[in-house]
Structure 1
């Protein structure tokens, strides 16, 4: 496959890298880049569904790229004085104080150190309220703040309930009101069936948590993901796309995701002091469950030892990746934001697509 779209002068190497990436994908891919407010790369290739070409307007499930959108909303609420990272969760959500969690800080939820990586209760994955209520009653696996482990789905239930408690609004409603409508971003949480979305597929041999070798902890990972990534039936279902799952059911385009991070860099969404607070290190280390090296701000992933945001591209990089290969974020020191989207899920230990693109972008930018 050959990519189609636009690149500004000086970014020709990115097009070459994109063609290489497209050739390594059975499905569709898109890559968009802004530099200081200007769209400099907008490329796509392949198919969104059988017989349907991928275009600049193709929507795709963002999986955990959604977490970066939600982290942005949290930063906006912080700037408004509605939510404080150092405040106790129970200040906003009194029921959360149960089971020894009275002193848990909002930052511990956002930085994945709260110790609630899965839901004990048997409640539907798509029911935000039921999952939040169950987590409020649940005891953490460790003393909050003492370990870091990626909260793949529970981050969303916890963040959604916090947002609802301080605003009285659903998270998808807030996304539309604060981001999508005023800034023309084609992003949704709670996507109606009438909106066309790229059909997701799993590459042969796709698997999650590729750093993990311990079988006992593998069972914990399975509890965390609740079978979501085991079959394309669930992830392609209208029920999943329509759910306002702040951890992973957001839908959008590559250009809108890159523009979101461009707006953050420009100071158009939050003051610089709030963004600095949200993108400094709040937790880091080897994931206590999956063994993956990681580093978090307040809901944002940060530059890490495995080069998620480009090897040495920018030590201040932040954003959020998504299951199967999506990569969205920014290099503040270069004034660059980017988004790579795809509908073919590849395993992390063999997927070089985003790394190839970011390496080419680093050379160009």
Structure 2
């Protein structure tokens, strides 16, 4: 199996990381990339496997995964949205502790007058699905219609009293807050504040000219969502939350409509290099005080819907008891459906990204954990001094 391996820092232990990555590629019916950057500079770049799905891992590769390969990040998008929120704080345009209704008066309806921006970002509002959903096949890409429905909607619990992952509604809520504060969409802000200044391949609203670079996503056999959940009644809520995005006979992540749309909870598209570079440079992009506030614990506990252990900052996932971000206690970032993961080990100055088109169920997916388990060896060996 062909693997492109770039060791940009002559790192001790690099060969071991390549072996782990190669073993994963050899098991895959798709492709993947794992990149590690330090302060915007590449240290490790690994690419392997096939952009096109194959019937068996041993089948011939039609199109090699390369540094230019783009893929849908699913909820990895939320971390980029969190970075934009932090940048707006630095510009004095957004105050996390203010009520959402200060910026968006209609949101005060149905007992939500005191809900803060921080509660939206930390997944404690209690608006985990849109009720009623706007009609139409592509209504989930209509941020304005979904935001209007959420503004009128009553939360499932007293905001701030429970934490539950707002898988899709996070995007509608933050998109509307951004629009009220700046007059711009989430995709425009990502382009203006993040992608263009840092020259990164990160898009929320993919230009048509780049469509040919996007790897088709596919679900591996046995793929499932919310694998920690056993309660049948809450399973119905989960199905309502994810019905259009991850379920069904076809995967909408492979449609140009979704690629062009600005689904701020899960429609972002990027390369692994771009996401690793972004997380490695957040400390220079966002002020130290704002970033420290965004990556401290704002909510944690067992997800009230999914029964999964959660720990959130302001839009960022934080290191959790199940080891999502490896052994670094200060780690933060955001994962995506099917196994992608993007984040930072800030004490080491590292940003990393694992991007793949083969979606595995969380309870069976060990790919990122295996790769992150090797990184401390590189650090201890002095390779990242």
Report the TM-score when normalising by structure 1: 0.97
Instruction: Quote the Cα distance in structure 1 between the aligned partners of 2:349 and 2:195.
Output: 22
Instruction: Quote the Cα distance in structure 1 between the aligned partners of 2:102 and 2:367.
Output: 43
SS of 2:290 mapped into structure 1: helix
Counterpart selection for 2:357 from 343, 347, 356: 343
Counterpart selection for 2:209 from 186, 191, 194: 194
Instruction: Quote the Cα distance in structure 1 between the aligned partners of 2:207 and 2:376.
Output: 37
SS of 2:141 mapped into structure 1: coil
Give the match for residue 130 of structure 1: 145
Give the match for residue 356 of structure 1: 370
Give the match for residue 317 of structure 1: 331
Instruction: Quote the Cα distance in structure 2 between the aligned partners of 1:53 and 1:16.
Output: 18
Instruction: Report whether the alignment pairs 1:105 with 2:116.
Output: yes
Is the CA contact (8 Å cut-off) linking 2:5 and 2:18 kept in structure 1?
no
Instruction: Report whether the alignment pairs 1:46 with 2:63.
Output: no
Give the match for residue 264 of structure 1: 282
| Residues 84-134 of structure 1: per-residue CA shift (max 9 Å, x gap) | 110000000000000000000110000000000000112111110000000
Give the match for residue 106 of structure 2: 95
Counterpart selection for 2:306 from 285, 290, 300: 290
Instruction: Quote the Cα distance in structure 2 between the aligned partners of 1:273 and 1:247.
Output: 25
Counterpart selection for 2:79 from 54, 62, 68: 68
Instruction: Quote the Cα distance in structure 1 between the aligned partners of 2:250 and 2:337.
Output: 13
Instruction: Quote the Cα distance in structure 2 between the aligned partners of 1:155 and 1:143.
Output: 17
Deviation at 1:21, TM superposition (A): 1.6
Deviation at 1:38, TM superposition (A): 2.6
| Residues 192-228 of structure 1: per-residue CA shift (max 9 Å, x gap) | 3331210111100100000000011000001111231
SS of 1:209 mapped into structure 2: coil
Give the match for residue 4 of structure 1: 4
Deviation at 1:5, TM superposition (A): 2.7
SS of 2:215 mapped into structure 1: coil
Instruction: Quote the Cα distance in structure 2 between the aligned partners of 1:14 and 1:347.
Output: 23
Following superposition of structure 1 onto structure 2, how do residues 209-288 of structure 1 map, counting pairs within 5 Å? 209-230=226-247, 231-265=249-283, 267=284, 269-288=285-304
Counterpart selection for 2:346 from 332, 337, 347: 332
Report the TM-score when normalising by structure 2: 0.92
Deviation at 1:52, TM superposition (A): 1.7
Give the match for residue 83 of structure 1: 94
Instruction: Quote the Cα distance in structure 1 between the aligned partners of 2:332 and 2:30.
Output: 27
Deviation at 1:37, TM superposition (A): 3.5
Instruction: Quote the Cα distance in structure 1 between the aligned partners of 2:160 and 2:23.
Output: 42
Residue ranges of structure 2 left out of the alignment (5+ in a row): 54-61, 380-385
Is the CA contact (8 Å cut-off) linking 1:200 and 1:232 kept in structure 2?
no
Is the CA contact (8 Å cut-off) linking 2:40 and 2:278 kept in structure 1?
no
Instruction: Quote the Cα distance in structure 1 between the aligned partners of 2:160 and 2:71.
Output: 34
Instruction: Quote the Cα distance in structure 2 between the aligned partners of 1:275 and 1:12.
Output: 34
Comparing 233-242 with 7-16, greater Cα deviation is found at: 7-16
Instruction: Quote the Cα distance in structure 2 between the aligned partners of 1:338 and 1:286.
Output: 26
Deviation at 1:337, TM superposition (A): 1.1
